[in-house]
């Protein structure tokens, strides 16, 4: 069974040509918003934060139970 991620409608973003299931998460230490999304081709999850850009893993992905390091991973995403 796939894990489920619940996203508030105001945090959901439209898909683009490379990324789907896009949504914002708020930084715990600043007012910044980061985008978490699934890569359409590789099926892995990514984040727009500096940690993911540098290391391909981050605390934002970990906090919601998503693997880093570009591992393909499927979830059920519910906008609620």
> Model pTM?
0.92
pLDDT of residue 80: 83
pLDDT of residue 7: 95
Tell me the backbone φ, ψ of residue 50, rounded to 5 degrees. -60, -35
> Dmax of the chain from CA atoms?
35
Q: What is the pLDDT along the chain (80 residues), one digit of tens a residue?
A: 789 999 999 999 999 999 999 999 999 899 999 999 999 999 999 999 999 999 999 999 999 999 999 999 999 999 88
- Give bridge partners of residue 16 from the DSSP assignment: none
pLDDT of residue 76: 94
The distance from CA 64 to its chain's CA centroid, rounded to whole angstroms, is 9
Neighbour-count burial for 56-70, b at 16+ CB within 10 Å, e otherwise: ebbebbeeeebebee
DSSP reduced 3-state for 62: helix
């Amino acid at each position: 069974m796939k894990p489920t991620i619940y996203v508030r409608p105001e945090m959901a973003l439209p898909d683009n040509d490379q990324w789907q299931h896009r949504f914002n998460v708020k930084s715990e230490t600043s007012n910044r918003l980061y985008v978490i999304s699934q890569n359409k081709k590789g099926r892995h999850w990514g984040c727009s934060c500096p940690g993911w850009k540098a290391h391909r893993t981050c605390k934002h992905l970990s906090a919601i139970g998503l693997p880093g390091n570009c591992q393909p991973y499927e979830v059920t995403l519910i906008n609620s």
